[in-house]
């Protein structure tokens, strides 16, 4: 019997501004998922939040893209939205682009990462949750986990990893996907993956036996909505140990607070700060962007844990460096490369400004 992990997330309201999900929203989701567990639709669940995003981490036997599971998540977010509206929380129902469920939560606003696998004798899994950034934020760390021997010693010294992994890469602009093998096609893969707003890793698969290794939410909210509603704030599920990178290799890339798109109004580049749950609360200029890592052992579908993996003093230098980079980037104000480039601004105020200036642009002789 296989186990499915579904992580479905949405921002349905927060305190103050885009800060942190209200506990009443998490409590409502808890209540709904507890009932689904009682009714045996779910095997287990864990409700959490990263900043203003509420994450439903669910295990079950229904497989990926299951209508009942997606509907359960959608209903939980709808009921939480009702509370958010009563409390006049900021962005109540922000990520729900529709109020009627249409069979699959994809395309409706929430982010989804799911994987189904046959449990090993011991199955450690890390769930990453971000706030104030976009799915491409995972490109660099996921690449390093599964393809960079300077990050993952196992790629060199463990025969079960040595043949490498396949990366399923989505072109979120053209709605196309391509699968690339590493290490053989590493340079070509990197040519795509460096464009973090367009090419995003959806899945990582072990080459030896096609076993799923990682799944990432790739929903781009603004592309779906056609206007700026908020950032996509992605989640990822990564399996570790015994044929996958060790847990420590999975969290290692985040010791480098790389620059990602997001932050204030979803329109600025800033460092991704790895934080424990207690600091998954972006404040300064609505940021800088955060990532937290929850480690679980999956035991017959039960979520044993979580371990709050970035609540480790060894990440203090990364947090300090992120704060310093935040300072440096902020001093650019509205200038690139702090502010995102023009093609990434087309869902915010830029089209309005261009419209206003229409007719005032003259040819240069
Ligand atoms: P332990 O001896 O603490 O189990 O560590 C094993 C290991 O391989 C750590 O990467
Ligand atoms: P969220 O996507 O986290 O709601 O952020 C939106 C925003 O505009 C922050 O300044
Ligand atoms: Mg928000
Ligand atoms: Mg958010
Ligand atoms: Mg968002
Ligand atoms: Mg040990």
The reported pLDDT for the residue numbered 33 is 98
Neighbours of 73 (CB within 10 A): 27
- Its pTM stands at 0.97
Q: From 161, 240, 246, 309, give the residue whose CB has the most ligand 1 atoms within 8 Å, as the site to mutate.
A: 246
- pLDDT tens track for 305-343: 999 999 999 999 999 999 999 999 999 999 999 999 988
ipTM over 0.85: yes
Distance CA 50, CA 348 (A): 24
The reported pLDDT for the residue numbered 346 is 65
Count Cβ atoms within 10 A of the Cβ of residue 321 and give its class: 0-12 exposed, 13-18 middle, 19 or more buried. middle
Q: Is 103 annotated as a binding residue?
A: yes
- The bound ligand whose nearest atom lies closest to the alpha carbon of 53 is 4
Q: Is 297 annotated as a binding residue?
A: no
Ligand 2 lined by 286 (C-beta under 6 Å): yes
Ligand 1 lined by 221 (C-beta under 6 Å): no
The reported pLDDT for the residue numbered 119 is 98
Q: Which residues of the chain have pLDDT under 50?
A: none
The reported pLDDT for the residue numbered 151 is 98
Ligand 1 lined by 246 (C-beta under 6 Å): yes
Q: Domains of the chain (ranges plus CATH)? A: 1-118 (3.30.70), 119-343 (no CATH)
The reported pLDDT for the residue numbered 291 is 99
- pLDDT tens track for 126-165: 999 999 999 999 999 999 999 999 999 999 999 999 999 9
Atom of ligand 1 nearest to the CA of 246: 10
Of all protein residues, the one whose alpha carbon is nearest to atom 6 of ligand 1 is: 246
CA of 242 to the centre of ligand 6 (A): 13
DSSP string for 101-158: --S-STTSS-EEEEEEEPPPSSEEEEEEEEESB-GGGGHHHHHHHHH-TTT-THHHH-
Q: Is 2 annotated as a binding residue?
A: no
């Amino acid at each position: 019997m296989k186990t499915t992990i579904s992580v479905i997330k949405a921002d349905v309201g927060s305190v103050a501004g885009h800060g942190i999900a209200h506990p009443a929203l998490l409590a409502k989701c808890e209540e709904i998922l507890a009932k689904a567990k009682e009714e045996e639709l779910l095997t287990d669940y864990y409700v959490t939040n990263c900043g203003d995003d509420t994450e439903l981490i669910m295990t079950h036997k229904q497989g990926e893209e299951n209508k009942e599971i997606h509907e359960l998540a959608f209903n939980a977010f709808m009921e939480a939205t009702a509370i958010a509206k009563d409390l006049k929380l900021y962005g109540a129902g922000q990520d729900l682009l529709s109020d009627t469920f249409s069979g699959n939560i994809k395309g409706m606003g929430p982010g989804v990462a799911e994987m189904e696998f046959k449990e090993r004798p011991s199955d450690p899994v890390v769930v990453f949750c971000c706030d104030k950034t976009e799915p491409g934020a995972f490109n660099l760390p996921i690449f390093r986990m599964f393809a960079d021997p300077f990050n993952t010693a196992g790629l060199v010294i463990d025969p079960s990893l040595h043949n490498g992994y396949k990366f399923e890469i989505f072109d979120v602009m053209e709605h196309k996907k391509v699968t690339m093998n590493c290490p053989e096609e590493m340079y070509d893969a990197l040519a795509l993956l460096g464009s973090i707003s367009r090419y995003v890793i959806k899945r990582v698969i072990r080459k030896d036996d096609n076993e799923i290794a990682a799944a990432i939410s790739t929903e781009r909210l603004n592309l779906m909505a056609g206007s700026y509603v908020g950032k996509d704030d992605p989640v990822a599920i990564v399996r570790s140990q015994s044929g996958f990178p060790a847990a420590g290799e999975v969290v290692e890339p985040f010791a480098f607070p790389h620059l990602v798109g997001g932050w204030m109004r979803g329109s600025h580049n800033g460092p991704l700060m790895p934080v424990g749950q207690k600091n998954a609360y972006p404040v300064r200029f609505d940021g800088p962007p955060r990532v937290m890592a929850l480690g679980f052992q999956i035991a017959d579908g039960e979520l044993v844990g979580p371990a709050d993996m970035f609540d480790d003093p060894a990440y203090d230098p990364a947090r300090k460096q992120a704060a310093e980079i935040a300072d440096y980037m902020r001093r650019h104000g509205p200038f690139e490369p702090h502010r995102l480039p023009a093609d990434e601004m087309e869902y915010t105020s830029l089209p309005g400004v261009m419209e206003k200036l229409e007719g005032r642009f003259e040819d240069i002789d």
